[in-house]
């Protein structure tokens, strides 16, 4: 049985690299609040709306692998395998679930409301994985981990999902209008 090789065009490689860099850069933007939060998830959501599933997953994987090698791309200019294996690593790995869920639910139809709903569903998948990981890593109950690691972020991340849906659809339309190197069919 032959398997089809996963291939990327030069334009796709550029898009994956650009979005992986955007995720790394936006992760460094920390919004001070009672519980500070980064803009990294916004970049992941934008990636999920603009790029097709294969490229979204690749961009998040490049971001995660770059951080796993020790380059300081995670929040607070941190990196290394301990960040992924640590108590909050599940939220980072949950970015893969976010883009997969959003891409599968949106199906590139329905406009901003459907895109936002898809991103919120993806965000909940990310939270579920991250909360389970946090509970296991710190010996918390699921409830305690949810109260600490997810609940304070629901409102700001929902706002980010709505903004990413609106901005992402415009960016996707602009890429389609101006030629996109084969990123969209």
Residue 184 inside a domain? The answer is no
Gap between the Cα atoms of 164 and 169, Å rounded: 8
pLDDT at 109: 74
Q: How many separate domains does the chain show?
A: 1
Is pLDDT above 90 for 91? yes
Gap between the Cα atoms of 96 and 101, Å rounded: 9
This prediction has a pTM of 0.91
* pLDDT-above-70 percentage for the chain: 93
* pLDDT-above-90 percentage for the chain: 81
What is the mean pLDDT of the segment spanning 178-183? Answer: 58
Host domain of residue 28? 10-174
Residue 181 inside a domain? The answer is no
Residue 4 inside a domain? The answer is no
pLDDT at 81: 97
Is pLDDT above 80 for 1? no
Exposure class string for 112-134: b at 16+ Cβ within 10 A, else e: bebbbbbbbbbbbbbbbbbbbbb
Q: What is the CATH number of the domain that holds 30?
A: 1.10.1760.20
pLDDT band of residue 71 (cuts 50, 70, 90) is: very high
């Amino acid at each position: 049985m032959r398997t089809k090789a996963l291939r990327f065009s030069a334009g796709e490689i550029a898009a994956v690299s650009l979005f992986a860099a955007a995720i790394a850069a936006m992760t460094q933007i920390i919004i001070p609040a009672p519980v500070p939060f980064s803009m990294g998830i916004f970049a992941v959501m934008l990636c999920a709306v603009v790029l097709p599933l294969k490229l979204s997953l690749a961009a998040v994987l490049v971001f995660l692998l770059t951080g796993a090698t020790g380059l300081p791309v995670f929040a607070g200019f941190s990196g290394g395998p301990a960040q992924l294996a640590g108590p909050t690593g599940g939220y980072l790995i949950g970015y893969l679930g976010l883009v997969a869920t959003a891409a599968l639910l949106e199906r590139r139809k329905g406009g901003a409301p459907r895109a936002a709903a898809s991103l919120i569903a993806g965000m909940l998948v990310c939270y579920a994985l991250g909360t389970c990981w946090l509970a296991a890593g710190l010996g918390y109950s699921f409830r305690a981990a949810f109260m600490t690691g997810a609940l304070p972020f629901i409102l700001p991340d929902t706002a980010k999902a709505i903004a990413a849906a609106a901005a992402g659809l415009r960016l996707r339309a602009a890429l389609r209008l101006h030629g996109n190197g084969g990123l969209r069919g």
